[in-house]
């Protein structure tokens, strides 16, 4: 088991990967630097290997797929995840590692948004998207993570080995943040100095398509992790629609004894049944989620025993 593992997912980062590897080797000489190449065509893997990194490959395209492979393959007491585009300073890594070792943090977030991100990043929609995602998740999941989509994070062994990676692309960071919030894991924030990509280095993130995937992921995970809230709101909306359309029918019936809009009455009845079904679906799923959290806590005990065996404690 490695003491510290630096994980760098890469796709066509030949302009910057050498500097990134050398910076982390200088700042963390005791760490093992892993570069996982994701079908690069510009020689990123050879440049990383010559710079002193351990190079491995993931052939399924997408950042989420790369991180899934990394988390499965590598055993370490502390993990640092960063990007290969030289936008994150290696100098912040020791403070993030100390949070894991000294404060028992499960995830440490490299917070760009509280420092230079909005001045360095020239893509206005990226800035807007990051703010929207941060506010949405903190409100929906009652947490205080300062930067939801940062690619610079530190993790404990327990987090890495208990995190079920479902996302295939850039929405993976959002999934990590929501998982940590739902499972009551200890999350710390470390403010970092963000710098924009150097000239000639191109972002692989598509503002609109990847942004839509992130928002879709938030909705899907809110349904999964907060089912009572999700289905409760749906139930309330359906119930209000049913009652709203039914009131005129009842008023008319009380005056005339007739039901001239009988099809509307039938539809209102079915909508009310759907509202009741949604409510009880949320209630059942909430109970199942509570049981899953109990099972998760027991799983952590098993992972902790395995970690101690690997480290020889």
pLDDT value of position 218: 82
Nearest 10 degrees: Cα torsion 116, 65, 138, 202:
30
Lowest model confidence (mean pLDDT) among 18-27, 165-174, 212-221 = 212-221
Question: Is the domain defined by 2-225 classed in CATH 3.40.50.150?
Answer: no
pLDDT value of position 197: 64
pLDDT value of position 222: 87
**Can you spell out the DSSP letters for 56-81?**
EE--S-SHHHHHHHHHHH--EEEEEE
**What's the whole-number mean pLDDT along residues 79-96?**
95
pLDDT value of position 200: 60
pLDDT value of position 308: 86
Neighbours of 151 (CB within 10 A): 22
Indicate if the pLDDT at residue 124 is higher than 60: no
Residue ranges of domains in the chain: 2-225, 227-311
Q: Which of 169-178, 238-247, 293-302 has the highest mean pLDDT?
A: 238-247
pTM to 2 decimal places? 0.80
Indicate if the pLDDT at residue 170 is higher than 60: yes
- The pLDDT-based confidence of 69 (bands split at 50, 70, 90) is very high
Please give the Cα distance from 61 to 149 (Å, whole number). Answer: 19
Nearest 10 degrees: Cα torsion 311, 66, 292, 75:
0
- The pLDDT-based confidence of 136 (bands split at 50, 70, 90) is confident
What are the residues facing 89 on neighbouring strands? none
Per residue in 247-295, pLDDT tens?
998 888 888 888 888 888 899 999 999 999 999 999 999 999 889 888 9
pLDDT value of position 114: 84
The rounded percent of the chain whose pLDDT value lies above 90 is 56
- The pLDDT-based confidence of 207 (bands split at 50, 70, 90) is low
pLDDT value of position 311: 77
Indicate if the pLDDT at residue 198 is higher than 70: no
Please give the Cα distance from 72 to 194 (Å, whole number). Answer: 29
**What's the whole-number mean pLDDT along residues 141-166?**
91
Higher pLDDT, 88 or 135: 88
Indicate if the pLDDT at residue 26 is higher than 60: yes
Instruction: Kindly report the average pLDDT of the chain as a whole number.
Output: 88
First to last CA, the chain: 12
**What's the whole-number mean pLDDT along residues 158-162?**
95
Indicate if the pLDDT at residue 116 is higher than 80: no
The C-alpha angle 4, 120, 139, rounded to 5 degrees, equals: 75
Neighbours of 133 (CB within 10 A): 22
Indicate if the pLDDT at residue 192 is higher than 60: yes
DSSP H or E run through 109: strand 107-111
3-state helix, strand, coil in the chain (%, to 5): 60, 10, 30
Residues near 130 by Cβ (< 8 Å), separated by ≥ 6?
113, 117, 147, 148, 149
Query: What would you measure as the largest C-alpha separation in the chain, in angstroms?
Result: 89
Q: How far is CA 122 from CA 115, 147, 162, 206, in A?
A: 15, 18, 36, 14
């Amino acid at each position: 088991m490695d003491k510290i593992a630096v994980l760098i997912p890469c796709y066509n980062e030949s302009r910057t990967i050498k500097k990134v590897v050398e910076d982390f080797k200088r700042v963390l000489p005791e760490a093992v630097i892993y570069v996982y190449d994701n079908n690069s065509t510009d020689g990123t893997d050879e440049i990383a290997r010559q710079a002193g990194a351990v190079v491995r490959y993931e052939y399924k395209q997408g950042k989420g797929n790369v991180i899934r492979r990394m988390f499965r393959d590598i055993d370490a007491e502390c993990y640092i995840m960063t990007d290969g585009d030289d936008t994150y300073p290696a100098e912040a890594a020791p403070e993030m590692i100390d949070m894991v070792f000294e404060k028992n943090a499960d995830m440490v977030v490299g917070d760009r948004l509280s420092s230079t991100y909005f001045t360095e990043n020239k893509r206005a929609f990226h800035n807007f998207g990051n703010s929207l995602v941060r506010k949405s998740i903190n409100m929906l999941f009652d947490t205080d993570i300062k930067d939801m989509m940062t690619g610079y994070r530190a993790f404990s062994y327990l987090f890495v080995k208990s995190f079920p990676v479902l996302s295939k692309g850039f929405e993976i960071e959002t999934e990590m943040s929501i998982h940590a919030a739902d499972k009551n894991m200890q999350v710390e924030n470390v403010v970092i100095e963000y710098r924009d990509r150097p000239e000639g280095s191109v972002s692989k993130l598509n503002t609109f398509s990847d942004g839509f995937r992130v928002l879709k992921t938030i909705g899907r995970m809110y349904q999964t992790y907060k089912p009572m809230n999700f289905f409760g709101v749906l139930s309330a909306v359906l119930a209000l629609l049913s009652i709203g359309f039914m009131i005129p029918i009842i008023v008319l019936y009380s005056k005339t004894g007739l039901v001239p809009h009988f099809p509307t009455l039938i539809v209102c009845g079915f909508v009310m049944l759907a509202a009741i079904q949604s409510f009880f679906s949320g209630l059942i799923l909430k109970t199942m989620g509570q049981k899953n959290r109990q099972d998760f806590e027991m799983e952590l005990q098993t992972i902790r025993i395995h970690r101690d065996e690997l480290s020889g404690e």
